[in-house]
Amino acid sequence: MPISLLPVSVWVYRGLGALSGSCLAERLGHNVQLTDGERAAIDALENDVRQVRRGTMVFAEGEPSRELLIVRKGWLQSGVFMPNGGRQITRVNLPGDIIGWSALAFDEAPETVVTLTDCTLCSVDRTCLSSLFAQQPRLGALLLALAVSERAELADRLASIGRTSARARVAALLCDIVARVRLSQGPDTVTLHVPLTQEEIGDATGLTAVHVNRMIRSLVEDGIIDRSGNFITLKDEARLIAEGNFTSRAEVRTDWLPAPR
């Protein structure tokens, strides 16, 4: 799939007026019960809702980025391109994910983010976030908790890639994806659409597409998963989790957060 290099200004987008703020509210509302004041503060943030086609680069490594994006619909990949032509996918982004955290620490994006499917994204400028911190400290603290949770997921992936076999890496990636898909599609999901090519799975696990293919087939042969087209079905989830040495980081503690205003 060729990646189109459309600059941000060319993105297909539509302002949704009052609706536009609800993206972040919807996301944060997953973790805490928002007060009216908090909801109002979020809705007051300036932002856009954008429809983006598959294969679009929404952040480019080295280019300025000053905003967070919240994924409402669709899948994306965050990654780094290496000088030798390779690529490392650092995260597969699903609906509900916040992407572009690095805008809060750097002026230029350290990662490239590309849509894997058609997506609906909401943007929040980082300067708007500052007023959120000032007015609704609980939401600021929640953002930190979410960022920390992602940090833990990255550490898990690091251990997976650094210290486990090819088969275990693929298993761990599948576990990660399933666990996060369930957050939006329900906890009993066992069959799911995975819009990743085997090459992309390889780029996420530090393997080649050829070897990913062999690992997936071995998982199928051993009755751990089934696969037809881009759909994966879990047949023996316990074994998949055990082989991937997977731990879910889905549940984020919020009891230490300051009281809402």
CB of 37 to DNA, least distance (A): 46
The tokens of 15 are what? 């302002």
**Cα–Cα dist 194/116, whole Å:** 10
CA 54/CA 68 separation, integer angstroms:
19
Residues 213-242 that bind its own copies (CB under 8 A): none
Check residue 145 for interaction with its own copies (CB under 8 A). yes
Which listed residue (80, 183, 192, 220) binds its own copies by CB under 8 A? 80
Question: In Å, how far are 72, 76, 89, 166 from 206, measured between CA atoms?
Answer: 28, 18, 8, 9
Q: Among residues 206, 211, 213, 220, which is the contact residue for its own copies, using CB under 8 A?
A: 206
Q: Are strands 191-193 and 231-234 parallel, antiparallel or unpaired?
A: antiparallel
Nearer to its own copies by C-beta: 151 or 227?
151
| Helix (DSSP H) and strand (DSSP E) numbers for the chain | 8, 12
- The rounded distance, in Å, linking the Cα atoms of 123 and 72 is 10
Q: Residue 97 or 111: which CB sits closer to its own copies?
A: 111
Give least dist CB 118 to DNA, A.
13
Q: How far is the CB of 143 from its own copies (least distance, A)?
A: 6
Q: Cα–Cα distances in Å, from 173 out to 9, 77, 178, 201?
A: 34, 13, 9, 8
Q: Which residues bind DNA (CB under 7 A)?
A: 1-2, 165-167, 197-199, 202, 206-211, 213-214, 216-217, 229-230
- Site residues (CB under 8 A) for its own copies? 66, 78-80, 82-84, 86-88, 90-91, 101-102, 104-107, 110-111, 126-127, 129-131, 133-134, 137-138, 140-141, 143-152, 154-159, 161-164, 205-206, 245, 247, 249, 251-253, 256-259
